[in-house]
Amino acid sequence: MHEMSLCEGVIQVLEDSAKTQGFTRIKTVWLEIGALAGVEIEAMRFSFEAIKKGTMAEDARLEIIDRPGQAWCLPCAKTVAIKQRFDACPHCGSYELQVTGVVVKPSRTPS
């Protein structure tokens, strides 16, 4: 499952930042999921619950932030908001868009 490997990546990033930032416990994991990321949020929650066991995120709560779809417009040279993967740029009408906003960002709640 796509979400399963995404979650493995999330735990990996968390454990790496734990090492560099010197924390040992994670209370909350925030994920920003772009609308065009092709990620099922329910599958993501399910995978997280399964994968966190035995890791330092074992007691962590998963918070998911839905982000609107975004793309990089080559002619405009900026990020624009789109609703679907094959939408045209709302500013110049170009189809030379590269979909972004598909990043899953784990982070620690500032304490």
Cβ-closest residue to Zn ion? 89
Q: How far is the CB of 46 from Zn ion (least distance, A)?
A: 37
Shortest Å distance, C-beta 84 to Zn ion: 16
Contact criterion met (CB below 8 Å) for 100 and 71 = yes
How many of the other CB atoms lie within 10 Å of CB of 63? 12
Do 16 and 57 touch, CB atoms closer than 8 A? no
Kindly tell me which of 94 and 98 has the beta carbon lying closer to Zn ion.
Answer: 94
Q: Give the torsion sign (CA, 14, 52, 103, 9).
A: positive
- Asked if residue 76 binds Zn ion (CB under 5 A), the reply is yes
Does the protein bind Zn ion through residue 91 (CB under 5 A)? yes
Which residue ranges make up the site for Zn ion (CB under 5 A)?
Answer: 73, 75-76, 89, 91-92, 94
